[in-house]
Chains A and B, each alone.
Chain A
Amino acid sequence: MNGLMLIARREITTQIRTRSFLIGLLVTAVLIAALSFLPKLMGGNDSYTLGTVNSQQLPLKQAAPDVEFEWRSFPDEGVAKQAVLDGDVDAVLVDNAKVLTDGEIDSQLGVLMQSVNREVKLGGAGVSIAPLQMQSVGADTRYQAARTGIAVILTVLLFMLVLGQAVMVAMGVVEEKGSRIVEILLSTVRPWQLLGGKILGLGVLGLINLLTVVVVGLGAAAMSGMFPDLPPGMPGLIAAVLVWFVLGYAFFATLAAALGSLVSRQEEVNTVLTPLTMLIMATYFVAFYVTNDPTGTVATVLSHIPPFSSMIMPVRMAAAEVPMWQVGVSMVAMVLAVVAMLAFGAKVYQRAVLRTGARLKLGDVLRAK
Chain B
Amino acid sequence: MLEISELRKRFAGGPDAPGGKVALDGVSFSVRPGEMFGFVGANGAGKTTTMRIVMGVLQPDSGSVSWQGRPLGYDARQRFGYMPEERGLYQKMRVAEQIEYFGRLHGLSGPATKKATDDLLERLALTERRNDAVQALSLGNQQRVQLAVALVHDPEVLVLDEPFSGLDPIAVDSLATALQERCRGGVPVIFSSHQLELVERLCDSVGIVSAGRMVATGTVSDLRAAESKTLRVVVRDPAPGWAEGLPGAVTVHGDRHTLRAVGGDDQEILRRAVKAGHVEHFGVEQPTLTEIFKEAVA
Contacts and interface: CB of A to CB of B under 8 A. Distances in A.
B80 A187 contact: yes
Interface residue tally on A, bucketed by range: 20 to 34
B105 A188 contact: yes
B142 to A, nearest CB: 11
Contact of B87 (A18, A180, A356): A180
A150 B107 CA distance: 47
B62 interface: no
Contacts of B88: 176, 179-184
Nearest to A179: B88
B87 A188 contact: no
Contacts of A186: 56-57
A1 B56 contact: no
A185 B57 CA distance: 9
Given A3-B105, A14-B90, A188-B106, A183 B78 contact: no
A144 B19 CA distance: 65
A176 B92 CA distance: 12
A184 B80 CA distance: 10
A183 B82 contact: yes
A29 B82 CA distance: 44
A182 B58 CA distance: 12
Interface residues of B, number: 31
Contact of A187 (B55, B86, B93, B101): B55
Contacts of B57: 183, 186-187, 354
A220 B57 CA distance: 52
Nearest to B93: A14
Interface in B95-109: 101-102, 104-107
A186 B57 CA distance: 6
21 contacts: A6-B105, A7-B105, A10-B93, A10-B101, A14-B93, A175-B90, A179-B86, A179-B87, A179-B89, A180-B84, A181-B89, A182-B88, A184-B150, A187-B56, A187-B57, A187-B77, A187-B82, A188-B106, A188-B107, A190-B74, A369-B12
Given A179-B89, A184-B82, A188-B106, 14 more contacts: A1-B104, A6-B105, A179-B86, A179-B90, A180-B84, A180-B86, A181-B90, A182-B88, A183-B57, A184-B88, A184-B102, A186-B56, A187-B55, A188-B77
Interface of A: 1, 3, 6-7, 10, 14, 18, 175-176, 179-190, 354, 356, 364, 368-369
